[in-house]
Structure 1
Amino acid sequence: MLDSETKRRIDTARDILVGKVPDPKSQVEQITIALIYKFMDDMDAEVEELGGDRSFFAGEFAKFGWGRLMSPSVGGHELLSLYSEGISTMPQNAGIPALFRDIFKNAYLPYRDPETLKSFLKVIDGFTYDHSERLGDAFEYLLSVLGSQGDAGQFRTPRHIIDFMVEILQPKKGEVILDPACGTAGFLISAYKHILRSNLDAQGNSTLTPDEKGKMATNFKGYDISPDMVRLSLVNLYLHGFKSPQIFEYDTLTSEDRWNEFADVILANPPFMSPKGGIKPHKRFSIKAKRSEVLFVDYMAEHLSPRGRAGIIVPEGIIFQSQTAYKDLRKMLVENSLVAVISLPAGVFNPYSGVKTSILILDKSLAKKTDKIAFFKVENDGFGLGAQRRAVEGDDLPFVLDQITNYELRITKGEELITSEDDRVLIVPKSKIAASGDYNLIGERYRETSFVSSHFPMVELGDVSEVTSSKRILAEEYVPSGIPFYRTKEIVELSKGHEITLELFISEERFQSIKSRFGSPAKGDLLISAVGTIGISWIVSDDREFYFKDGNLIWVRNLENRPVGK
């Protein structure tokens, strides 16, 4: 567990940099480089104390040693020169392992202020190299600031979602574990910790043999197209005890160099965004596509070993888009490896994105033993869906984990699969999913609803109300404050009686212009979600003024004032 003093030092280092290095990713990179620089000197000092010779800061690199940097006799501008030259030339240092040369690849100092550097390195000086879990946890805390969207549409996956997926897949010692879009290696670290916990005796001691530990170190693999992410992954794994992390700068979608490598467990949250004109993949993909999310899922499905399994976070487009590539992908998954789909609430990636996502669970062995697919719905992941993501009661993740574990166990035993009475679980025959030809993976589409007799007449909604749409609002029309603008996520929270955090607004002038022409929701009107968590409804309970996102919400008005048949 991260101790408060280490956390304080990391926060202080970031506070010092923020004025000169405003980008969070660059802050993390500068702290990462400085820590490894300091740790190399610590290791040199330890060897020296045992009677050996320094190897990292020796020969022509001796002048860059940490002790020299911290010497009171070194002035500010000399410090700038030494440190800047030291980090930029370290990849040419033959005395350090290839891992460290990779970490320093393209490293540079992005500012030229001696006082900032001196204060920053003084804080780094308080860290001591230590291959303990504590230091790994400290680095993971540092990586937690990497929440903003990357150039390729990456979003940092929340830790509790990563751990949830790992618990479903249950990675084991001896298995090859891969993340082909690894970012900062969060999935790999979580899988590694799971295996360590699963191999303890009654006294809490590891039962892993040296050979098993050695094999495990080479069985964890990660690819990423970004050299910055590769650097952070290398450090993250190194600080968790991996002497030679198997992390590679590699374009999973356009390079064929590693196409013939397979994995027993694949965990990933691949980038959702494709460049203008689409991806230009090589010819070995079975699905012909230009969208990155389609190609990544195809890649993972095709690179599982015969008993392989995968957990993949995907955007909603994978679930229901009608284009040929999406349908072909879903058909291939349903026929070969898909065992479950877990719908996550819109807002899991807040405050960085409100994108709606699902988790695909693939298992090539289990998929052959059943003619059904399970659908699970997470409405509450233990955190509010507003920008702050504060902890809330009612977490669905433990329930879904228990349900999917039992579901997979029943398949293994050849027992009958019966849908739970809980509406968060639905089991659907593959034949039913294939019937329409589009292989839609929205579970609610296949739920059979029974109607109970009532003394109230059944009528068309349009006979008793007016179903209408709103005026489309463009992104550039949002303003810092004004009339609140509701989306599906706000309606979901309001339907549960929760308070909402207002995030989007349109101007009073724009609202009045729309209202005069199209009207606006009033007390007693009904709003129904049409995307994401479909069918969630909220009746406007007061005279508040707000507008809503067209296409995401259905507006039903005059519900109580129109007689049947009129």
Structure 2
Amino acid sequence: MLNSETRRRIDTARDILVGKVPDPKSQVEQITIALVYKFMDDMDKQSIEMGGKASFFKGEFKKYGWSEIFNPRMGGIEMLNLYGEAITRMSQNDNLPELFRNIFKNAFLPYRDPETLKLFLKTINEFSYDHSEKLGDAFEYLLSVLGSQGDAGQFRTPRHIIDFMVRVLDPKKTETILDPACGTAGFLISAYKHIVNTPSGFATSPKSDGVSVGFGEGKGEGLTAQEKQAIYNNFTGYDISPDMVRLSLVNMYLHGFVKPNIQEYDTLTSEDNWDRYFNVILANPPFMSPKGGIKPHKRFSVQSNRSEVLFVDYMAEHLTPNGRAAIIVPEGIIFQSAGAYKQLRKYLIEHNFLWAVVSLPAGVFNPYAGVKTSILFLDKALAKKTDQILFVKVEADGFDLGAQRRPIDRNDLPDALNTLHAWQKAVLDGNPASFSPTIASALLVSTSRLAENEDYNLSADRHREVKRVGKQTYPMVSLGELCEILDSKRVPIRESERKKGEYPYYGATGILDYVEGYLFDEKLVLVGEDGAKWDKGDKTAFIAKGKYWVNNHAHVLRPKRNLILDEYLVGILVEMDLRLYITGVTVPKLNQEKLRSIEIPLPPLETQRQIVDEIAAHQRIIDGARQVVEGWKPNFDIDPLWTEIPLGEVITLQRGYDLPKQNWVKGNVPIVGSNGIIGYHNVPKEKGPGVVTGRSGTIGKVHFINSEYYWPHNTSLFVKEFNGHDRMFIKLLLESIDLKSLGANVAAVPSLDRKNAHRIMVSVPPLEIQREIVARIERERSIVEGNRELIRVYEEKVKKVIERVWEE
């Protein structure tokens, strides 16, 4: 396990580098290179102490030994030059094994500050090489700071998702394992740990701790030396990025792989490894393709220039006859109707690869990306034994879905894992009827149903909805039959060419501008074509009235009002998941053909009017409550008799404390930054309740932290001394001051100087009146919160009205 001292050293090294090397990925690379450099010197010293000779730093490379760099007679510039030259030349050192030469390939020193280098290398010098698992754990911690490699569409896969996928596949000690887009080798390391902890048989059911479905830290004591060596030889990783290859090599090496098989290899365009097959393949491949697309060879079964399509094809085609795979894919693979996506889904189903699809929450990759993803599970032996595919929806993975990904109690992953294993067992035992899922979202869908309309849609919600609609009381009618489409009348106007006027200019999401002329002079329904959102509740459909202009990003529908009411149509569309009809990848789009094909239940007009009236009644309450919520701001009147004094005589503001994110340890102490609570820690810093305002970046927001203790972050100022004043009143007082203006035009990143804040003149009443003001505002706040709850309740009522239409 990672100890606090090792964590501290890594954090210190990053803190030293951050001023000169702000990019986390570059920091990791520099620490990696320095660690390997130091470890090679440690190994040379161990060899000499045991009567042997130096293996790495000898001959012309002897001058680059670690001790030479720390020669006290060497000045700062000399040290910098020697180290910079050493890491640049080390890939040419024939004394190094190929592994180490590859690690130093293209290495260089990206800064020229001697003092930074001296402090950095002094921290690296505190590490020493040994053969313990601690180094592997330390390096995994270092890699955890990596976030989005967004230019390539890559996102670091959360460890608990990796472990979940590994446990479903249950790799064995004799099986070959590949990650064709290995990044930092997270999947390979997880698979290795799984094998040494469960040398044979099915993985044991996970213990649900509310967060993880991971496994222990066993060292594989039950394996023989020959078995361990065989296991090392069974792992292969490919990556197109030399930087990722370097990190993977070090990660594998520090987990015991003396000669890790990690190759700098373009999986999609090279044929060199095409004829290699594997028992187990795991990957979270890049989602994005370069401009112009990938230019692959012709050996893929599915011809495409989309990287996500080609990676899934590659993994399916490179499984052994009984091989298994788990692949994270974007939602385009699941339901988009473009030719390559549909062809891929058809290939996976008709050729007996796919046996399960697990839908993940949209925030799994936060804070790096909100992209919606699923996991495809392939098993060539299992899929041949059944004509049904299991769909599982994971709605919670042990963390909230906000940017901070804070731990929560709910975690569907253990039940999802048990359900997947139960289906595996039921099918392999030849008794599918014995399958008993432990997660409510589990759904079995026949391959014949998936093949209906030849779209092979892999969205579970689509098939649940189809099943429900089959029992529908009202007839299902397409929009093409219910509406006249007026898209040909739309005209876009560039912003630079718009003449300001009185008429609304509509786009996919509503009014964008006001222009001089108009195209339409009637009540119509607009539906977002592109640049919109199409999930349930996203309000992609709305009504336009009067005179207005519409650009080419919103469909224009004239309902046939002898069949359907405008308001009924909008209510139904807003509560539908229209993502199932979206095409396009670079620019997702609800094209006119798909729009026409959307089917909705059609009650009689009188029933529609009743539904619309009921929704309208609910909406009036929602609108009124929302007006209260949005219009209320806590404030108080200033009595001219109150004393006016500098703010610094009322309270003392102090800058918050440094706490790098990698140092956060799960706890219940809120960490408060300029935008409010940004995370939680286990170390109390200031006693609450506290008042905090933004110091850097976002300034002027004031937060009341109602907890026993809190940690004010260094992006904030907090009230250190209240000097006997009511704490909530001080929060209100700070909100009444235009703190934001004090930081304007100070720097590229706005910053609030506490000295300037202290000089502001404020009027402060006696403590008794402060408390009266707070009590009045709290009464108002409770009324506002009641209105907020009213909005939630009546929005739920609106949904239930629409849901009744779909039910019997």
1:68 Cα deviation after fit: 1.2
Which amino acid in 2 is paired with 1:14? R
1:530 Cα deviation after fit: 3.0
Q: Please state whether the residue corresponding to 1:79 is helix, strand or coil.
A: helix
What corresponds to 1:143 in structure 2? 143
Which amino acid in 2 is paired with 1:241? G
TM-score, normalisation: structure 1: 0.82
1:107 Cα deviation after fit: 0.2
Contact 2:536–2:577, Cα closer than 8 Å, also in 1:
no
Q: Please state whether the residue corresponding to 1:340 is helix, strand or coil.
A: strand
The total of aligned residue pairs comes to 504
What corresponds to 1:321 in structure 2? 336
What corresponds to 1:260 in structure 2? 275
Taking a change above 3 Å as real, the CA distance of residues 344 and 87 of structure 1, as seen in their structure-2 partners, is same
Q: Please state whether the residue corresponding to 1:20 is helix, strand or coil.
A: coil
Taking a change above 3 Å as real, the CA distance of residues 458 and 303 of structure 1, as seen in their structure-2 partners, is closer
What corresponds to 1:32 in structure 2? 32
What corresponds to 1:360 in structure 2? 376
Q: Which of 263, 279, 303 lines up with 2:294 in the alignment?
A: 279
2: distance between equivalents of 1:233 and 1:459?
A: 54
Q: Please state whether the residue corresponding to 1:288 is helix, strand or coil.
A: coil
Contact 1:338–1:362, Cα closer than 8 Å, also in 2:
yes
The 5 Å alignment of 1:331-410 reads 331-335=346-350, 336-410=352-426
2: distance between equivalents of 1:453 and 1:174?
A: 52
2: distance between equivalents of 1:378 and 1:559?
A: 22
For structure 1, list consecutive stretches of 5 or more residues without a partner in the other structure. Answer: 463-469, 478-485, 493-524, 547-554
1:96 Cα deviation after fit: 1.0
Q: Please state whether the residue corresponding to 2:454 is helix, strand or coil.
A: coil
What corresponds to 2:775 in structure 1? none
Q: Please state whether the residue corresponding to 2:84 is helix, strand or coil.
A: helix
Contact 2:415–2:439, Cα closer than 8 Å, also in 1:
no
1: distance between equivalents of 2:64 and 2:95?
A: 13
For structure 2, list consecutive stretches of 5 or more residues without a partner in the other structure. Answer: 202-217, 480-505, 514-531, 539-570, 582-617, 632-794, 803-808
Q: Please state whether the residue corresponding to 1:361 is helix, strand or coil.
A: strand
What corresponds to 2:242 in structure 1? 227
Q: Please state whether the residue corresponding to 2:52 is helix, strand or coil.
A: coil
TM-score, normalisation: structure 2: 0.58
1:473 Cα deviation after fit: 6.2
Taking a change above 3 Å as real, the CA distance of residues 529 and 118 of structure 1, as seen in their structure-2 partners, is farther
Deviates more, 1:59-68 or 1:357-366: 59-68
Q: Does residue 530 of structure 1 match 2:547?
A: no
Contact 2:419–2:439, Cα closer than 8 Å, also in 1:
no
2: distance between equivalents of 1:69 and 1:143?
A: 26
What corresponds to 1:80 in structure 2? 80
1:400 Cα deviation after fit: 0.4
1: distance between equivalents of 2:276 and 2:299?
A: 13
Q: Please state whether the residue corresponding to 2:149 is helix, strand or coil.
A: coil
Which whole-Å deviations, capped at 9, do the CAs of 1:400-434 have from their partners, x for residues lacking one?
Answer: 00001000000000113457595410001111111
What corresponds to 2:152 in structure 1? 152
What corresponds to 2:171 in structure 1? 171
What corresponds to 2:468 in structure 1? 449
Q: Please state whether the residue corresponding to 1:427 is helix, strand or coil.
A: strand
Root-mean-square deviation (CA, aligned residues, Å) is: 3.5
Deviates more, 1:59-68 or 1:148-157: 148-157
Which amino acid in 1 is paired with 2:416? V
What corresponds to 1:517 in structure 2? none
2: distance between equivalents of 1:196 and 1:386?
A: 35
What corresponds to 1:59 in structure 2? 59
What corresponds to 1:297 in structure 2? 312
Which amino acid in 2 is paired with 1:123? T
Deviates more, 1:408-417 or 1:421-430: 421-430
1: distance between equivalents of 2:420 and 2:95?
A: 50
Q: Please state whether the residue corresponding to 1:56 is helix, strand or coil.
A: coil
Which amino acid in 2 is paired with 1:298? D
Which whole-Å deviations, capped at 9, do the CAs of 1:11-56 have from their partners, x for residues lacking one?
Answer: 1100100110111110000000000000000000000000011111
2: distance between equivalents of 1:127 and 1:557?
A: 61
Which amino acid in 2 is paired with 1:401? L
Q: Please state whether the residue corresponding to 1:299 is helix, strand or coil.
A: helix
What corresponds to 1:307 in structure 2? 322
Q: Which of 441, 445, 450 lines up with 1:433 in the alignment?
A: 450
Taking a change above 3 Å as real, the CA distance of residues 528 and 93 of structure 1, as seen in their structure-2 partners, is same
Identity percentage of aligned residues = 62
2: distance between equivalents of 1:329 and 1:17?
A: 45
Contact 2:103–2:249, Cα closer than 8 Å, also in 1:
yes
Query: Which structure has the higher relative contact order (CA within 8 Å, separation 6+)?
Result: 1
1:367 Cα deviation after fit: 0.5
2: distance between equivalents of 1:561 and 1:324?
A: 37
1:323 Cα deviation after fit: 1.3
1: distance between equivalents of 2:454 and 2:476?
A: 31
1:487 Cα deviation after fit: 7.3
Q: Does residue 129 of structure 1 match 2:144?
A: no
Which amino acid in 1 is paired with 2:468? T
Q: Does residue 106 of structure 1 match 2:122?
A: no
Q: Please state whether the residue corresponding to 2:110 is helix, strand or coil.
A: coil
Taking a change above 3 Å as real, the CA distance of residues 489 and 105 of structure 1, as seen in their structure-2 partners, is farther
Q: Which of 263, 270, 284 lines up with 1:269 in the alignment?
A: 284
Greater strand share, 1 or 2?
A: 2
Which whole-Å deviations, capped at 9, do the CAs of 1:368-411 have from their partners, x for residues lacking one?
Answer: 11111000000001111100000011100001000010000000
Which amino acid in 2 is paired with 1:16? I
Larger radius of gyration between Structure 1 and Structure 2: 2
